[in-house]
Chains A and B, each alone.
Chain A
């Protein structure tokens, strides 16, 4: 029985990749464990190991093919003695997706009837088309499309060129090129003194970063995920956020703590926490959570130049999304300014970070039903630009706030309270919120999907505040 080899996923959020190279040719004998091909994403290059044994009967996807979807058959293996031409003609039984050697391993597809495509794909919707950040671009600037990952890297590289006091430290930031490839190429350009691999010791290296910042250096401390920053939160809050005040204004702490935050896909409760609300509770910190690549770049550059401790919350799923970004190395976005990304008159939808995917998706869906939503990207959680939200609510008289974080004491709870304080008389309906559910993140694909917000919930909330069925 011929067996299909499927395109493997390198990570829980990988949807497609490039089949860079075949290391075996048609007719070759394949043993379990043989490296048969190399695949690439913008994040990593991985070798594909054979799980099954036999003869490589047919290569279905040629060397160099881009954008091969996860779980697409890429080759067919025939057992010894099998009719190769029959095998090569396809119709093989799908094998489990070959094991990629990188942890966390992708979920193997149990059977051909239930390909793992949906399971491996993030449950957040694809990028909405309607996000236009160009009004903030420098006049006449040439615009290029780049991923959030590339935008973050460029921001760091540009600021490191500009200021010798800026350096990056964290786990796997240098030789590995970043666990999520955000620091790709920085070691090569800036050397080992400015791009520093740390041991796995978040509490310690966060403290070292803060100590260095107190002397006036400008560290960028990367956490592989903000879940791990829990080990370091004492230094972030007690040492970084409070020292300026405790020193009567003498000891500033110009430091950026950055890394992916919140849910990725199928990584379980300890790797999926959204900390926006936690850090936004603390005076002495600024908390930034961009959605688009241009905001990621412009805000990270501002964060690195800022004299205060900044929490810069990224998102693994957004790393690979592409947006227009103006060319040039002096494009910044001010911290503390929200942005109306889609004008509308009927209801205000406020969100930030990956929450914007639900907000924008809902706005598109609502438009089809004749409801024009005004969508606001907060971009900075603290200090919060509530004025922009209030101005919108004074126009629409209704508001839905959206976040992936937990509901109690969440960012959306704060938005609702601030609107009540400042614009109560303008409201035609109570402010509604759509949040992550009040449960630790489950692993099972169906439960994870339920735990996160979705476009339907935002649409329903918007209709509810508009008193529309």
Chain B
């Protein structure tokens, strides 16, 4: 199965979607021929550079986290985002300040994309006091009210209802914000996802449901777990419009995201984006990934890598030189090495932290 570079409306959407049809964008296009197709969205040089830097930061950060896990500095569960970087970066390029992000346990990339400090994220992975949760959350549980990042959730599918709740808060306050709830092809089979779809459309909540279809729910391929493998159609019975998006092409992601976010922000209700993506690493650090071939992984890396695509365009179309790439790479490595250094030497939380943050003190009346 190749990653389709096509966007489709939800199959036969009911009334609401019919009233507000998603724009049909590019026609079906074979991968690799993108630049020949006129309807593929284009980026300016600055946008390409931004996407390149941001995606590279996630890639290098995750590679470092993998190394540190191997060294025993990171414990427990650690789910890497390598391969999927274009999804969260493209989404963030289309969002506004104040929009909220919530996701599951594969969350490091989302935190960095929201502007959270790499030191604080890495120190949480190592369970140190300078981590975003003072070492009490770990890889799967970090939050930043300041950056509107709402976690970091370890129960598959829970973030979908919670994300609809963020959208509910925006609807309640009428503050023009949109929430983005990310979940995987595995979570897409949870019952609460459909409870949330129903209420989100019923109340026209400003929420974008971003299904990161990386083809494997842990070790179970989409075909083995899903009766309907076109996830953009999962909202059809609620009249929620949806699109399949080439989640390896950051330009396609941003284009679709802009459409989806505008739909939600304008009061038309939720929107579903199926991001067709791929994770290069195992589900978690302990996953030998026996359920897929090395060739499959290799082919994705060589032909569809989201970062290499941007690098290619920067070289070909914007004539970026090797020195300039080296300078960007060096800067990113510096940030990641600094985070790793900090996270290695930052002390563990004070033992008194065991008993803090369980309940808040009520305000005095």
Are A208 and B198 within 8 A (Cβ)?
Answer: no
Smallest CB-CB separation from A169: which chain B residue? B168
Are A203 and B198 within 8 A (Cβ)?
Answer: no
Binds B, one of A17-25, A301-309, A388-396: A301-309
Query: Which residues in window 311-356 of A have CB below 8 A to B?
Result: 330, 332, 335
Are A214 and B165 within 8 A (Cβ)?
Answer: yes
Give the docked Cα–Cα distance between A250 and B365 (Å).
Answer: 22
Given contacts A203-B191, A207-B192, A332-B365, contact A250 B143 (CB under 8 A): yes
Given contacts A204-B195, A250-B144, contact A307 B172 (CB under 8 A): no
Are B151 and A247 within 8 A (Cβ)?
Answer: yes
Are B198 and A199 within 8 A (Cβ)?
Answer: yes
* Contact partner, B359, options A203, A208, A238, A284, Cβ 8 Å: A284
Are B132 and A248 within 8 A (Cβ)?
Answer: yes
**Which residues of chain B are within 8 angstroms of A201 by Cβ–Cβ distance?**
195, 198-199
**Which residues of chain B are within 8 angstroms of A199 by Cβ–Cβ distance?**
195, 198-199, 202
Are A204 and B172 within 8 A (Cβ)?
Answer: no
Given contacts A204-B195, A246-B152, A248-B136, contact A308 B131 (CB under 8 A): no
Are A305 and B151 within 8 A (Cβ)?
Answer: no
Given contacts A193-B172, A207-B158, A284-B358, contact A248 B195 (CB under 8 A): no
**Which residues of chain B are within 8 angstroms of A235 by Cβ–Cβ distance?**
158, 161-162
Categorize the interface residue count of chain B.
35 or more
Q: Is A281 an interface residue (CB 8 A)?
A: no
Q: Is A33 an interface residue (CB 8 A)?
A: no
CB distance from B132 to the nearest CB of A (A): 7
**Which residues of chain B are within 8 angstroms of A205 by Cβ–Cβ distance?**
195, 199
Are A208 and B363 within 8 A (Cβ)?
Answer: no
Give the docked Cα–Cα distance between A69 and B297 (Å).
Answer: 75
**Which residues of chain B are within 8 angstroms of A117 by Cβ–Cβ distance?**
none
Give the docked Cα–Cα distance between A290 and B60 (Å).
Answer: 55
Given contacts A167-B172, A211-B162, A214-B162, contact A305 B150 (CB under 8 A): no
CB distance from B5 to the nearest CB of A (A): 33
Q: Is B227 an interface residue (CB 8 A)?
A: no
**Which residues of chain B are within 8 angstroms of A305 by Cβ–Cβ distance?**
362-363, 365
- B160-194 near A? 1/0 per residue, CB < 8 Å: 11111111110011000000000000000001100
CB distance from B139 to the nearest CB of A (A): 11
Given contacts A238-B155, A243-B151, A248-B134, contact A211 B165 (CB under 8 A): yes
**Which residues of chain B are within 8 angstroms of A198 by Cβ–Cβ distance?**
199
Are A251 and B158 within 8 A (Cβ)?
Answer: no
* Contact partner, A212, options B137, B168, B192, B361, Cβ 8 Å: B168
Give the docked Cα–Cα distance between A127 and B173 (Å).
Answer: 44
**Which residues of chain A are within 8 angstroms of B142 by Cβ–Cβ distance?**
247
Are B360 and A212 within 8 A (Cβ)?
Answer: no
CB distance from A79 to the nearest CB of B (A): 52
Give the docked Cα–Cα distance between A235 and B195 (Å).
Answer: 14
Are A249 and B356 within 8 A (Cβ)?
Answer: yes
Are B169 and A215 within 8 A (Cβ)?
Answer: yes
CB distance from A364 to the nearest CB of B (A): 36
**Which residues of chain A are within 8 angstroms of B360 by Cβ–Cβ distance?**
244, 252, 307-308
Give the docked Cα–Cα distance between A442 and B208 (Å).
Answer: 46
Smallest CB-CB separation from A208: which chain B residue? B165
- A208-242 near B? 1/0 per residue, CB < 8 Å: 11111111110000000000000000110011000
Give the docked Cα–Cα distance between A284 and B160 (Å).
Answer: 22
Give the docked Cα–Cα distance between A302 and B363 (Å).
Answer: 10
Give the docked Cα–Cα distance between A332 and B32 (Å).
Answer: 67
Query: Which residues in window 283-301 of A have CB below 8 A to B?
Result: 283-284, 286
Are A286 and B161 within 8 A (Cβ)?
Answer: no
- B200-218 near A? 1/0 per residue, CB < 8 Å: 0011000000000000000
Smallest CB-CB separation from B158: which chain A residue? A239
Give the docked Cα–Cα distance between A204 and B196 (Å).
Answer: 6
Query: Which residues in window 182-209 of A have CB below 8 A to B?
Result: 193, 196, 198-199, 201, 203-209
Are A208 and B365 within 8 A (Cβ)?
Answer: no
Are B164 and A245 within 8 A (Cβ)?
Answer: no
Give the docked Cα–Cα distance between A430 and B233 (Å).
Answer: 63
Given contacts A214-B162, A214-B166, contact A246 B191 (CB under 8 A): no
Smallest CB-CB separation from B192: which chain A residue? A203
Give the docked Cα–Cα distance between A147 and B133 (Å).
Answer: 45
Q: Is B153 an interface residue (CB 8 A)?
A: yes
Give the docked Cα–Cα distance between A249 and B144 (Å).
Answer: 11
Are A209 and B165 within 8 A (Cβ)?
Answer: yes
Give the docked Cα–Cα distance between A86 and B100 (Å).
Answer: 76
Q: Is B145 an interface residue (CB 8 A)?
A: yes
Given contacts A199-B202, A307-B363, contact A210 B162 (CB under 8 A): yes
**Which residues of chain B are within 8 angstroms of A243 by Cβ–Cβ distance?**
143, 151
Query: Which residues in window 104-153 of B have CB below 8 A to A?
Result: 131-137, 141-145, 150-153
Are B145 and A206 within 8 A (Cβ)?
Answer: no
- A137-177 near B? 1/0 per residue, CB < 8 Å: 00000000000000000000000000000010000000000
Q: Is B302 an interface residue (CB 8 A)?
A: no
Q: Is B357 an interface residue (CB 8 A)?
A: yes
Give the docked Cα–Cα distance between A357 and B213 (Å).
Answer: 56
Are B150 and A251 within 8 A (Cβ)?
Answer: yes
- B84-97 near A? 1/0 per residue, CB < 8 Å: 00000000000000
Give the docked Cα–Cα distance between A448 and B202 (Å).
Answer: 41
CB distance from B201 to the nearest CB of A (A): 11
Are A211 and B166 within 8 A (Cβ)?
Answer: yes
Given contacts A238-B155, A286-B359, contact A208 B136 (CB under 8 A): no
**Which residues of chain B are within 8 angstroms of A302 by Cβ–Cβ distance?**
362
**Which residues of chain A are within 8 angstroms of B162 by Cβ–Cβ distance?**
207-208, 210-211, 214, 235, 239
Smallest CB-CB separation from A216: which chain B residue? B169
Given contacts A211-B169, A212-B166, A247-B142, contact A204 B362 (CB under 8 A): no
Are B136 and A245 within 8 A (Cβ)?
Answer: yes
**Which residues of chain A are within 8 angstroms of B136 by Cβ–Cβ distance?**
245-246, 248
**Which residues of chain B are within 8 angstroms of A234 by Cβ–Cβ distance?**
155, 158
Give the docked Cα–Cα distance between A247 and B164 (Å).
Answer: 20
CB distance from B54 to the nearest CB of A (A): 24
Smallest CB-CB separation from B167: which chain A residue? A211
CB distance from A370 to the nearest CB of B (A): 43
Give the docked Cα–Cα distance between A46 and B152 (Å).
Answer: 49
**Which residues of chain B are within 8 angstroms of A196 by Cβ–Cβ distance?**
203
Give the docked Cα–Cα distance between A75 and B360 (Å).
Answer: 59
CB distance from A301 to the nearest CB of B (A): 10
A–B Cβ pairs within 8 angstroms, 27 of them: A203-B192, A204-B192, A205-B199, A207-B192, A208-B164, A211-B150, A211-B165, A212-B166, A215-B100, A215-B165, A234-B158, A235-B158, A235-B162, A238-B155, A243-B143, A243-B151, A244-B357, A245-B136, A246-B133, A247-B137, A247-B151, A248-B357, A250-B132, A251-B150, A307-B360, A308-B359, A335-B362
Question: Which 4 pairs across A and B sit closest by C-beta, in order of nearness?
Answer: A211-B165, A207-B161, A204-B195, A248-B133
- Given contacts A203-B195, A208-B196, A245-B136, 13 further A-B pairs with CB under 8 A are A201-B195, A201-B199, A204-B164, A209-B165, A214-B165, A217-B169, A217-B173, A235-B158, A235-B162, A246-B137, A247-B137, A247-B142, A249-B134
Residues of A within 8 A of B (CB): 167, 193, 196, 198-199, 201, 203-217, 234-235, 238-239, 243-252, 283-284, 286, 302, 305-308, 330, 332, 335
